[in-house]
Amino acid sequence: MYKHLLFILLFLVLLTRSLAQEKASGSGEGNLPPAYHLLKTDTARMRFLVYALQDSLDEARLNNVLAWARTGLALAEKNKQDSMTGIFYFDIGKAFTYRYNKYDSAVYYYKKVLPYFPDPMRKYHVFSLREIMDRYADLGNKDSSFAYMNRLKSLIDTMPENSPKKISLSQNIAVVYQSFGMYRTAIRYFQSAINGNKLIKNNRGLGLAMANLGELYNQLEEYEKAIAASKEALAYLSGINMPYMQTAANIADYYITLKQFDSALHYLKISNEVVAATGDTETGLANNSILARIQMARGNHASAAKLLDSTIAALSKTDNSWTTCRALLAYADIDTAMHRFDKAKEHLKEALGIARKNEFAPFAVLALQKMASVYSLTGDYRPAFQYQFDHMRLKDSLSNSRSRSDLNDLEISYQTIQKEQEIQLLKKENDIKTLQLQKSRQSIFTYLIVFLALLSIGVIIFYQRNRRHKIETDKIKAELQTQVLRSQMNPHFIFNCLNSIENFIMQNDKRQASDYLNKFSLLIRKILDSSRNEVVPIGKDMEALKLYVELEQLRFNNKFAYTVYVDPVLSDGDYLVPSLLVQPFVENAIVHGMAHSEEKDLSISIMATLDGDKIKYTIQDNGVGREKAKVYNMQNKPYHKSVGLKITEERINIFNRQKVNDRSVNITDLYDEQKNPGGTRVEIILKAV
């Protein structure tokens, strides 16, 4: 009888204690600091809770945040304090974000904040938009995240560069772009946040921005930059527990990748010191996983396995899937190294299941790759092949996704640049308007400015008119020079061609006469067409030059061979040159260089190449050379004076707009090994047009 009564009494005591604990957990009363209970009014209590919640969030002491925020919400609703109601809704959202990782619930409470702060520039309105954007990004909902991002961007575009809100939001926007793989735009916004924090000397914000930039560089596999940015961040985050210990752990992780394990241990120790001070068990478990990787790399497989056993067991009581998945992958590496392949398969299958369930694509790729390797080591080639196939397919899918993100990144970067230019233009316009308002009070000064402006415009018009007149004069001069050259060249050339045709007819060589006549008529047509323009496409000009050489080859009974080469860059482009500019030099080479030679294997080569912003012609023959040609001409044509080459050089100088002393034509005498004349090389330099 007494035994039963004692049992019932014990049951009632336990039930009462349980109900009391549940009530305390729901209201926060049981865990509030003693100072709270000393306050006399609800207003004082609400203010106390606002500051207490802010300190708890800053110090990563999250256990009581939800309960305290609900206590504050009840007080605010009781006293119909709208602003306080909105603030405590915001803190409830923070609790669901950082304590429970329930992002859907967090978004729900952040959205409830907005009606209590209708002014879009108010702190809690802006920060609620930021949190909604971030949480949708955590949920992988890109469209919703970008929708709220655009609302934020429209707000910060109107803020000055040193605005704390703009600086903070720039960092959040950068993190969202980073989460969707749009690294170019993310770096842009991180740099904006870093520069802004430096302007206002906000060490906390600067440290967070540098830490996030370090994580971005790690994703880009630029580990040295990741370490440098994260180390700089630590200097600014000292005393801010959660980001400080996470950044130190990140540095340890980066050093492991570089196989610098002593440095990794140093920074892991720094992180663990803060973990011990704050009691943050989840970060401690994540750090255990990092330590196990270091031990494994140093060959301490048994110690690493023991550490991971306790870590995974502790993680099973949490919902930290990311750390669990990472620990399982590390354990699989230890199993493989110790030839415990069955255990490795178990850990990899569990990691793969978690990765697929939570859409941890990088972990899924890694797990599939390791599965293929383990099955291959055990001789199970069929499943090894299947896992390798799945690995490659998922990796290709991620690559395609990354490519799409890169395209989006480029598009948004372009839009951002355009928007920044528009903002700068608007700022300049506003500055101009402000300046005009100031100058409106100084009418005399304004009249003077107008007069000077008109005078400047007059000077510019006068200068431009003189410049145009000079250009027109130069153009007319060039055209006159061209006409002079043609009047010198055309009759002489036509006479020679007609003589050659007559010779073929007299010799009853109808085929040669017909061939010569066809080429001659085609060349005359090209010359007439080109005469309408000062410049012609280089390809068209080289065709005419080639026809001329072929006619001369026929006239001299194929005494010489020729080659014509045009740089494909020139022929495929739309480069323009003066028509028949190099023909006199080619004519000189044929008539004076090879016509007087009795040697065999005579040849002439004509090249046109692009050299930077210049077009370079090279005409080379292996005829008698200039000295012997000069002697021959003095004997047979003592009174003949050629002005063709001189006019051509003047045309080149006019086209290049050079002084007479600047050499655009270089002629080089060639000699064989016995120092006998071996031909001539002419180099002509034209500006590329």
Write out the residue range of the structural domain in which residue 496 sits. 468-687
pLDDT at 128 over 80: yes
Does residue 663 surpass a pLDDT of 80?
no
**Which tens digit of pLDDT belongs to each residue from 395-410?**
767 555 544 444 444 4
How far is it, in rounded angstroms, from Cα 296 to Cα 337?
9
**What tokens appear for 678 in the block?**
């071996």
- Judge whether residue 441 has pLDDT over 60: yes
- Higher-confidence residue: 416 or 367? 367
pLDDT band at 682 (very low <50, low <70, confident <90, very high): very high
Nearest in space to 684 (alpha carbons), one of 578, 575, 560 = 578
217 touches 253 (CB < 8 A): no
pLDDT above 60: residue 571: yes
By the 8 A CB rule, do 193 and 172 touch?
no
C-beta separation of 605 from 563 below 8 A: yes
491 or 318, which is more confident? 318
Residue with tokens 């002014």: 119
244 inside domain: no
Cβ-Cβ contacts under 8 Å for 623 (sequence gap 6 or more): 589, 592, 593, 594, 595, 596, 597, 602, 629, 679, 680
Q: Which of 136-140, 511-515, 682-686 has the highest mean pLDDT?
A: 682-686
Read off the pLDDT of each residue in 279-305 and give the average, rounded to a whole number.
86
Task: Tell me the average pLDDT across 341-356.
Answer: 88
Q: State residue 433's pLDDT score.
A: 61
548 belongs to a structural domain: yes
The pLDDT score that the predictor gives to residue 25 is 39
Pair type for strands 560-566 and 602-611: parallel
Q: What CATH code is carried by the domain that includes residue 511?
A: 3.30.565.10
**Average predicted confidence (pLDDT) for the chain:** 80
Overall residue count recorded for the chain in this entry: 689
Contacts for 598 with CB less than 8 Å, ≥ 6 apart: none
- Is residue 217 classed exposed, middle or buried when 0-12, 13-18 and 19+ CB atoms within 10 A define those classes? buried
What pLDDT, in 10s, does the model give residues 515-539? 888 888 888 787 777 666 778 888 8
Residue 625 sits at φ, ψ, to 5 deg, of 90, 165
| Identity of the amino acid at 200 | I
- Which residue do the tokens 């943050």 mark? 280
d(CA 351, CA 329): 6
> SS3 of 658, please?
coil
Is the pLDDT confidence value at 488 over 50? Answer: no
Residue 69, pLDDT > 90, answer: yes
Residue found by looking up tokens 């206002």 in the block = 200
Residue 668 domain flag: yes
Sheet holding 560-566, edge to edge: 560-566, 602-611, 614-621, 677-687, 665-671
pLDDT, tens digit (0-9, with 9 covering 90-100), for 375-401: 888 888 898 888 888 878 877 675 555
Q: How high is the pLDDT of residue 142?
A: 85
Q: Looking at the predicted structure, is the pLDDT value of residue 481 above 60?
A: no
Counting Cα atoms < 13 Å in the Cβ hemisphere of 604 gives 30
Instruction: Give pLDDT, residue 620.
Output: 92
pLDDT tier for residue 26 given thresholds of 50, 70 and 90 = very low
Q: Is residue 542 part of a domain?
A: yes
Identify the weakest region by mean pLDDT among 226-230, 291-295, 594-598, 600-604: 594-598
What are the tens digits of pLDDT across the range 75-119?
Answer: 999 999 999 999 999 999 999 998 888 999 999 999 999 999 999
The C-alpha atoms of residue 479 and residue 61 are separated, in whole angstroms, by 87
Give the residue-averaged pLDDT of 445-457.
77
Least confident of 164-173, 273-282, 313-322, 502-511: 502-511
**pLDDT 10s digits, 173-219:** 888 888 787 888 888 888 888 888 888 888 888 888 889 888 888 88
CB burial class (10 A; 0-12, 13-18, 19+) of residue 635? Answer: exposed
Separation in Å, CA 522 to CA 519, 529, 547, 551: 5, 11, 8, 11
In this prediction the pTM is: 0.46
Is position 541 within any domain?
yes
Count of structural domains, the chain: 1
Q: In this structure, what token pair is assigned to residue 143?
A: 């469209």
What is the spatial distance between Cα 221 and Cα 211, in angstroms, rounded to a whole number?
15
Alpha helix ranges (H) inside 359-442: 361-377, 381-439
Question: Strand pairing of 576-578 and 602-611?
Answer: unpaired
Handedness of CA 242, 244, 246, 247 (dihedral sign): positive
- pLDDT for 20 equals 41
